[in-house]
């Protein structure tokens, strides 16, 4: 009973914090919409800033409703007895405690918990995004994405979970070290395989056509020490008008990916600056740093799962048999967010530091701040970016500085 009460309190406290932070942010946006700071006025004219504020407020109000609903779904899943009944039912299909039935239980529970949020995803896409001119998807495409996502998730997740649970039976008390090695190895492989095998199931990737832009960007990549065999364009416009750029993989497998919407919104110099920013992440060692942090987090997570699974009070508190690993994995996945929410300001602080460093690299690589500043201004205008978030909200939810903050840092670079 004490464990259940503690978890219920954690759910309530996190939800209260989320709602309070969102309310603070809405108040800040409304205040700034009436009298935008000088830095904002230079990026968005009055009409665009007003519409960006309206977009932020609409998303925030809806996000608070969705967060409240998600908290209710989590509480019902943990305290209603649904999950233990599902575990027992899946166990009836095979030998009790079998690795494959444990894997199937985790997959089935994940699907069952994700389904209630589908209407919220639909509303976000076809009401809010459509109202502000960003939605390019159709209902058929939206449904196909989710069905393909379920299929891919099962095709990858079920064998991985089966292998993980089967491993436990073979390696003894230190299974969590072997489990970490298995999952982390899979994550590294996914960095290479995802853009080649999974991404094409959802999006069309095609080489940037021969021409001045391609030659310019490839030559720039070579000059900045990021040799890439090709630059690919992804058809993000079939789902959204938002723009982005990134690179995937590592070593000889790395590739540059530009959204077609980004190419449509920016000129060659601005595209070069955006590319320089992405290369900056590579040249400043941010990818290995994030991999290392992810590896440590994963290792700690596995150690905690092993410890919790060995406690006589953990699984039974939620209606599961003691030491049954599949329920322990699921419960850890459901409960970990109640604690990691409170350390998100630290991870966001590191991410924002990386963004400033990548911007500084782009400034040096392009001969000054002007190209990247123009790119940031254009993207902030086209995407109706919120340029005036409340600082506390930004600390918890924003992994990037605002455009105003990035521009100030770019002009202050030595």
Spatial CB neighbours of 95, under 8 Å, sequence gap ≥ 6: 101
Of the candidates 270, 278, 355, 407, the residue annotated as catalytic is 278
| Residue of 327, 411, 403, 405 lying closest to 369 (CA atoms) | 411
Ramachandran class of 366: left when φ > 0, alpha when ψ lies in -120 to 50, beta otherwise = alpha
278 carries an active-site annotation: yes
- The two tokens of residue 19 are 């709602």
- Cα separation, 280 vs 274, in Å, equals 10
A 10 A CB-CB count for 45 gives: 11
Residue 34 CB-half CA count within 13 A:
5
381 carries an active-site annotation: no
Of the candidates 359, 381, 405, 407, the residue annotated as catalytic is 359
Tell how strand 255-259 and strand 231-234 pair up. parallel
Dihedral of CA atoms 205, 207, 213, 214 in degrees, nearest 10, equals 140
- Cα separation, 234 vs 261, in Å, equals 9
Residues with a known catalytic role = 278, 359
């Amino acid at each position: 009973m004490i464990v259940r009460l503690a978890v219920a309190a954690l759910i309530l406290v996190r939800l209260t914090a989320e709602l309070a932070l969102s309310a603070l942010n809405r108040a800040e946006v409304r205040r700034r919409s009436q009298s935008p700071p000088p830095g904002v006025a230079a990026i968005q004219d009055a009409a665009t800033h007003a519409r960006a504020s309206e977009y932020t407020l609409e998303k925030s109000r809806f996000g608070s409703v969705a967060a409240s609903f998600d908290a209710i779904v989590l509480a019902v899943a943990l305290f209603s007895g649904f999950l233990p009944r599902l575990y027992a039912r899946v166990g009836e299909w095979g030998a009790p405690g079998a690795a494959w039935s444990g894997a199937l239980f985790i997959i089935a529970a994940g699907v069952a918990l994700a389904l209630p949020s589908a209407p919220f995803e639909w509303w976000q896409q076809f009401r809010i995004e459509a109202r502000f001119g960003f939605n390019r998807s159709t209902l058929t495409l939206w449904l196909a994405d989710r069905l393909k996502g379920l299929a891919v998730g099962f095709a990858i997740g079920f064998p991985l979970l089966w292998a993980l649970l089967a491993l436990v039976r073979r390696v003894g008390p230190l299974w969590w070290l072997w489990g970490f090695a298995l999952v982390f190895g899979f994550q590294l492989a996914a960095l290479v395989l995802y853009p080649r095998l999974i991404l094409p199931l959802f999006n069309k990737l095609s080489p940037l056509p021969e021409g001045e832009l391609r030659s310019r960007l490839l030559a720039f990549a070579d000059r900045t020490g990021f040799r890439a065999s090709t630059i690919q364009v992804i058809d993000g416009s079939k789902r959204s008008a938002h723009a982005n750029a990134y690179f995937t993989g590592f070593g000889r497998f790395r590739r540059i990916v530009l959204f077609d919407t980004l190419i449509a919104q920016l000129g060659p110099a601005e595209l070069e600056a955006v590319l320089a920013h992405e290369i900056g992440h590579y040249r400043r060692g941010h990818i290995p740093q994030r991999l290392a942090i992810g590896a440590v987090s994963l290792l700690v997570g596995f150690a905690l799962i092993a410890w919790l699974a060995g406690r006589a009070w953990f699984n039974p508190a939620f209606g599961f048999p003691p030491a049954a690993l599949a329920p322990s994995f699921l419960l850890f996945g459901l409960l970990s967010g109640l604690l990691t929410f409170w350390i998100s300001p630290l991870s966001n602080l590191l991410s924002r530091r990386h963004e400033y460093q990548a911007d500084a690299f782009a400034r040096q690589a392009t001969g000054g701040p002007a190209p990247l500043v123009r790119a940031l201004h254009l993207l902030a205008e086209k995407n109706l970016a919120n340029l005036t978030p409340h600082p506390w909200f930004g600390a918890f939810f924003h992994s990037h500085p605002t455009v105003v903050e990035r521009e100030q840092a770019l002009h202050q670079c030595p």
